[in-house]
Amino acid sequence: MNILLAFKAEPDLSMLSGSDWQLAARTNLAPDPTLMRAIMGNDEQGAAELVLQARDIDPALTLAAVTLGDDRAAGPLRHLAALGFGQRTLLRSEADNRFSPVWVAEQLARQVQRSGSDIVLIGTRSSEGQNGQTGWLLAEMLGWPCLTQVSGLLPVSGGVQVECRSVTGISHWQLHQPAVLMVQNRGQMALRVPGMRARLAAAHAEIEVVEAMLPGDPWLQCQTLTQNEHVRAGRVIAGGSAQESAQQLWRVALAERMMR
């Protein structure tokens, strides 16, 4: 069985200091993501760990990984190579694809068909874009079923058993056909760390580079972004002393609630 992990290489925002964010807020300019290293998102790290756990149970599984982006994405691909992913593919594109789920899904669908994958794992959302549409669109283009909130993957005879965890309960599905699995990592999964020898061996691991197809017409492009304003009512208490402020707080806010 061939399992393909599709992930997005995201900028590591933890590299930014508090002063970087404050400067961005004052100048209304976002920090330059090209200055940060690229990492896998939280959901994709959980998906990679699920695939590795499945391979631990069934060593016959063939693991592959694909990402769409520029050359900075080679780092996460080599990290996966150190963990045992045999095929690594970079769909190289310099375009800003954060708000283009249709185009991203088209590129991934071509790669799935070219690689002959049986199951595709993808994160539910990324830290950039946050549209959550790519997995659904990919499944629609492939004509495959799609399961969301995936939290478990177990190889069984003739297929895989998938666990989906939601706020209402846990469901288990038996799959005997190709499918797209959207993984949601709520912190219960952490991607394992490869050993030093594996990391050194993967430092020069071969990465297949495929030039992503240019977007054709019609193609939706994001023109502007508008921030939603969430305004809450408030009241400022100004007293001459701490005692006066406490008394005023009691009269205007707490007394009525405590007397109910």
SS3 171: strand
CA 49 to chain centre: 13
**pLDDT (0 to 100) of residue 240:** 78
**pLDDT (0 to 100) of residue 94:** 83
> What is the token pair recorded at 127?
């830290």
DSSP 8-75: -EEE-GGG--HHHHHHHHHHT----GGGS-EEE-HHHHHHHHHHHHHHHH-TT-EEEEEEEESGGGHH
CA 85 to chain centre: 18
Q: What is the layout of strands, in order, in the sheet containing 119-123? A: 169-175, 159-166, 146-156, 179-183, 119-123, 2-7, 62-69, 87-92, 208-211
- For domain 2-211, give the fold: Rossmann fold (3.40.50)
For residues 191-201, one letter each, b for 16 or more C-beta atoms within 10 angstroms of the residue's C-beta and e for the rest, the string is beebeeeeeee
Phi, psi (deg, nearest 5) at residue 137: -65, -40
Alpha-helical segments (H) within the chain: 18-27, 42-57, 74-83, 101-115, 134-142, 196-201, 242-249, 255-259
> What is the token pair recorded at 110?
């071509």
SS3 240: coil
**pLDDT (0 to 100) of residue 129:** 62
CA gap 88, 85 in Å, rounded = 7
**CA neighbor of 221 nearest in space, from 102, 127, 60, 138:** 102
CA gap 153, 54 in Å, rounded = 6
Cα dihedral angle (98, 103, 104, 110), rounded to 10 degrees? Answer: -170
The pTM score is 0.78
Query: Over its length of 260 residues, how does the chain's per-residue pLDDT go in tens digits?
Result: 899 999 988 888 778 777 777 777 677 676 777 778 888 989 999 999 999 999 999 999 999 999 998 888 899 999 999 999 999 999 998 877 777 888 899 999 999 999 999 999 999 887 766 678 999 999 999 999 999 999 999 999 888 999 999 888 999 999 999 999 999 998 888 999 999 999 999 988 899 999 988 765 555 666 666 666 777 777 788 767 888 888 888 888 888 777 76
Phi, psi (deg, nearest 5) at residue 196: -65, -40
